Amino acid sequence: MKRFEHLVMAGAIALISGCGGAEVADQAPSTSSAADSAYLASSEPANAMPVGEARAKASDGEELTLVGLIGGSTEPFVDGLAAFTVVDPEIPHCSTEEGCPTPWDYCCTQDQVKDNIATVKVVDESGSPVSQTASDLLDVHELSTVVVQGVARRDDQGNLTVEANDIFVRSSK
């Protein structure tokens, strides 16, 4: 299980940093504050598909809207970047009543998470990653339900990343 968490976060970080390290280092990522609503949608977008369906159907470069719960590992947020992982709402997370201190890591259902997880990377209008931790930027935390609009990006292993420009927070547990 620990190896899976490391692979998910390593994949998220690799997707966020992209190719051509020198080129990325020359670009100054944008900054923002929690009060800045530039990335927060005021109303919920229609026709959001669950993460699992988006993983199965979305093509690279396709515009999409998906819904998911922030989680999938013990640390679903990427420090210093507005990026996080989301899990399909149909996948049950662990219960705090069962003594689980980190229910958002889905330790009880890890076998179901691998096909029902996506990385969300908040990008500015130029496509650069926003350089503020998403929990602060969007006022969300683990197990918050979000509806994300953006562009699908696929890697060679079929992992899904959404370069998001609009996020609606349905619930912020």
| Choice among 2-6, 16-20, 73-77, 160-164 with the minimum mean pLDDT | 16-20
Q: What does the alpha-carbon distance between residue 74 and residue 39 come to, in Å, rounded to a whole number? A: 25
Q: What does the alpha-carbon distance between residue 33 and residue 138 come to, in Å, rounded to a whole number? A: 8
Tens of pLDDT, residue by residue over 73-124, are: 999 999 999 999 999 999 999 887 778 889 999 988 889 999 999 999 999 9
**What mean pLDDT comes out for the span 40-47?**
93
**CB 68: neighbour CB atoms within 10 A?**
31
**Which of the residue ranges 24-33, 52-61, 104-113 has the most confident prediction, judged by mean pLDDT?**
52-61
For residue 3, name the pLDDT band (cuts at 50, 70, 90).
very low
pLDDT, position 9: 45
| Closest to 146 in 3D by CA, of 172, 116, 122 | 172
pLDDT, position 173: 62
| Choice among 24-38, 101-115, 135-149 with the minimum mean pLDDT | 24-38
Which segments within 26-70 are labelled E, that is strand?
A: 49-50, 63-70
Domains and their CATH numbers in the chain? 2-171 (2.40.50.200)
| CA torsion through residues 113, 140, 119, 8, sign | negative
Q: Say if residue 4's pLDDT is above 60.
A: no
Please list, residue by residue across 94-109, b when 16 or more beta carbons sit within 10 angstroms of its beta carbon and e when fewer do: beeeeeeebbbbbbee
Which residues, in sequence order, are CB contacts of 113 under 8 Å at separation 6+? 4, 72, 87, 91, 106
- Residue type at 122 in one-letter notation: V
Residue the block writes with tokens 């690279």: 60
Predicted TM-score (pTM) of the model is 0.78
